[in-house]
Amino acid sequence: MEKQQVKIPRPEHINIPKIFFSDATGGYLEYCIGCNRPLLREETDYLIEKAFKSYQGLESYSTIFEYAMCLSCVNSMHRTLSEESRTNISAYFQQHGRFTDRRFVQDQHHADINRRLDRCVLTAEKATEIPEFQIYGHCRGKNLIVEGYPFMISGKATDILIELISDKTLDELQNFTDQLVGGPPEFADILNLGPRLIF
């Protein structure tokens, strides 16, 4: 009797929404900021982070920084975290994360994705009512994986997370920021917080 092959279900995905496109080019973020690896090959997994400054009451935003990073570089970066920092961050997400409250859509209606991004996954603050926030997406090639991602984290939540991080880890994050991220001086505060994909 022949063994039946067990098919492992692939994560649900949609075309990458334009909010995760590069503001600089208007197209996909094509290369890993860490190792310059091309990212648009079908099976390449990577994460995107974009940080925004909002103009409250106007529903308009300025992009402060944006980048994509392959999972290999993300994992390398994650290993620079102290064990204490990893434990603290994981515990905070488990206690406060609102992932199960959100509707994980399985179609290509961008409005549904926007609903995931309009409130902080940790504090429930609305994007239109906070001065800055960051969004995160897990992508594979030209697709956005919709299991666990995407989500938004407010500046307030970032401040809370920073308090959970050891001084050594903060130094590592600042070094990463200094090397890879630049921006106008009026955005210095949020730029100093550095990229947050490791969360």
Per residue in 107-127, pLDDT (tens digit) is 344 446 888 888 899 999 988
Residues near 185 by beta carbon (within 8 Å), at least 6 away in sequence: none
pLDDT of residue 177: 61
pLDDT above 60 (res 28): yes
pTM (two decimals): 0.78
**Least reliable range by pLDDT among 7-11, 35-39, 69-73, 138-142:** 7-11
Which residue type occupies 27? G
pLDDT above 80 (res 53): yes
In this predicted model, which residue has the larger pLDDT, 112 or 188?
112
The label of the residue with tokens 């603290």 reads: 88
In a domain, 70, yes or no: yes
In a domain, 161, yes or no: yes
In a domain, 183, yes or no: no
In a domain, 199, yes or no: no
The percent of residues above 70 in pLDDT, for the chain, comes to 72
- Total count of domains within the chain: 1
In a domain, 2, yes or no: no
pLDDT of residue 162: 83
In a domain, 4, yes or no: no
Q: Tell me the residue range of the domain where 52 lies.
A: 13-176
In this predicted model, which residue has the larger pLDDT, 74 or 172?
74
Give which of 66, 82, 110 is closest to 169, Cα–Cα.
Answer: 82
Calculate the alpha carbon distances from 152 to 21, 32, 72, 183 in Å. 16, 21, 22, 21
pLDDT of residue 45: 94
Q: How confident is the model over 160-172, as a mean pLDDT? A: 78
In a domain, 1, yes or no: no
What does the block give as tokens for 125? 């603050």
- CA 143 – CA 16 distance, rounded (Å): 5
pLDDT above 50 (res 8): no
- CA 51 – CA 134 distance, rounded (Å): 4
In a domain, 120, yes or no: yes
In this predicted model, which residue has the larger pLDDT, 159 or 99?
159
